[in-house]
Structure 1
Amino acid sequence: MLGLGADLLWVDMNRLLSFLFHQGVLDEQFLQLHQLQDETSPNFVSEVVNIYFHESEKLLKNLRELLMEKELSEYKRIGIHLNELIGSSSSIGAKRVTNVCISFQAATHQNNPVGCMRALEMLEHEYCYLKNKLHELFQIEQQRALAARVRYPVQN
């Protein structure tokens, strides 16, 4: 029997996921990623997402540095970093981050430094929001898993 706490945490987890889908933060790819998680790899999703966070932070840092150089020749390198970020973001279901990257790409194709800087700020904002919400989700999931293991003694 699951403890009442585990049931409530399950509800909280599903509510947060529903909110993130409704807001367009995540898409169905995140659910497909979740389907790869099982008893043999109970932390699969959080491990994949943490790798994504680690790599994305490097890409965001590189993007900011390239934009600060203000060289028009750097737009091609910016595009390479954006392609990497689009691929990794879409593979974990980070829909809004992916969409902002696509807008950012359009600004680079137009050689628009102001548009690129604005897009970078939006990208950093969406990335931070995604990171905070997924950390919140993983904390609830971890608490739920711990609560589910708790067995309460039967009262006579």
Structure 2
Amino acid sequence: MNTVVAQLQRQFQDYLVSLYQQGFLDNQFTELRKLQDEGTPDFVAEVVSLFFDDCSKLINTMSRSLERPENVDFKQVDSGVHQLKGSSSSVGARRVKNVCISFKECCDVQNREGCLRCLQQVDYEYKMLKTKLQDLFNLEQRILQAGGMIPQVNIS
């Protein structure tokens, strides 16, 4: 194996481990990666891309629901939080999911200020995760282009 591929693979492993250690990802992301094979080499990237599209739409919808202080539809916001929590759980987006838990509590007590803070936090966490996963997928592409295999990474 050439040294470039070995270096990229080590970089990939270290980076992926750091995403778990920093709480960006959980074991569900590991399960998602297990579903990817030669027949579906872009499976994880495609699923994650759909997740980010959903995040963006849900955040915009919730933002519109929260912008008028006298007339907040907390049921609609709660519905968006519920969807976001479910989809973040299914891709292993741990930090996004955790913010949704606090977000739901704010919806339950109809705390608009709390909802707005959680909305900002969700937006921040999803954008951070998106950047980090794009970097991870770029590393995967570089490994494949160099003729290497994506290493299996055991996260314990």
TM-score higher than 0.5: yes
Q: Which has the higher contact order (CA 8 A, sep 6+)?
A: 1
Cα deviation, residue 18, structure 1: 0.7
Which structure 2 residue ranges, 5 or more long, are not aligned?
Answer: 149-156
* Equivalent position of 2:92 in the other structure: 93
Cα deviation, residue 72, structure 1: 5.2
Larger Rg: 1
Calculate the aligned-residue CA RMSD, in Å.
1.2
| Matched-pair identity in % | 39
* Equivalent position of 2:18 in the other structure: 19
Q: 1:79-120, CA deviations, whole angstroms, 9 ceiling, x for partnerless residues?
A: 111111111100000000000011011001111111111111
* Equivalent position of 2:135 in the other structure: 136
In structure 2, how many angstroms separate the alpha carbons of the residues matched to 1:61 and 1:11?
A: 38
- State the SS of the aligned residue for 2:73: helix
Aligned residues, how many? 148
TM-score (norm 2): 0.91
* Equivalent position of 2:151 in the other structure: none
Contact 1:6 1:144 in 2 (8 A): yes
Which structure 1 residue ranges, 5 or more long, are not aligned?
Answer: 150-156
TM-score (norm 1): 0.91
Which segment is superposed worse, 68-77 or 15-24?
A: 68-77
Contact 2:65 2:72 in 1 (8 A): no
Distance 1:141 1:71, change over 3 A: farther
Contact 1:72 1:111 in 2 (8 A): no
Superposition misfits of 4+ residues, deviation over 3 angstroms: none
In structure 1, how many angstroms separate the alpha carbons of the residues matched to 2:5 and 2:49?
A: 24
Letter in structure 2 aligned against 1:131: K
In structure 2, how many angstroms separate the alpha carbons of the residues matched to 1:72 and 1:107?
A: 16
* Pairing 1:79–2:78 present: yes
- State the SS of the aligned residue for 1:78: helix
Q: 1:25-80, CA deviations, whole angstroms, 9 ceiling, x for partnerless residues?
A: 10000000000000111111001101111111101111111110235551000011
* Equivalent position of 1:153 in the other structure: none
* Equivalent position of 1:126 in the other structure: 125
